[in-house]
Amino acid sequence: MIVSMIQMIFEIPDIGNIKEKRRIIRSVKDKLQRRFNMSIAEVDLQDSLSFAQLGGALVSNSRSFGESVLHKAFELVERDVPVRIQDMRICSEEF
């Protein structure tokens, strides 16, 4: 069993309040869960108004498949969500 993981830290520009940030984060999480059937959560920076850190995981039987799906998920965020990516990491572990 291979678990592929992604971590993204991004800046959300021009946010007026924490409710607006939560709306954007919820939208990103819902898109990724529906489109890529992955688990995703806000894992840090919850109290920051303009930054967010998301962590996601996908279980598969192939490292290359899992990491390619997570790269596609990252591309969707980069293309469709009005954020500035600060950091992104993808890795896989075999269990």
Encode pLDDT of 1-17 as tens digits: 999 999 999 898 888 88
pTM score: 0.85
| Of 82 and 75, more confident | 75
| Enclosing domain of residue 38 | 2-94
The token duo for 11 is 């800046």
Residue 45, both tokens: 């920076």
Are 75 and 55 a contacting pair, CB within 8 Å? no
CATH number, domain at 7? 3.30.70.1120
In this structure, are residues 49 and 18 in contact, taking their beta carbons and an 8 Å threshold? yes
> Helix (H, G, I), strand (E, B), or coil: what is residue 23?
helix
How many structural domains is the chain composed of? 1
Residue 76, beta-bridge partner list: none
For residue 94 the two structure tokens come to: 């075999």
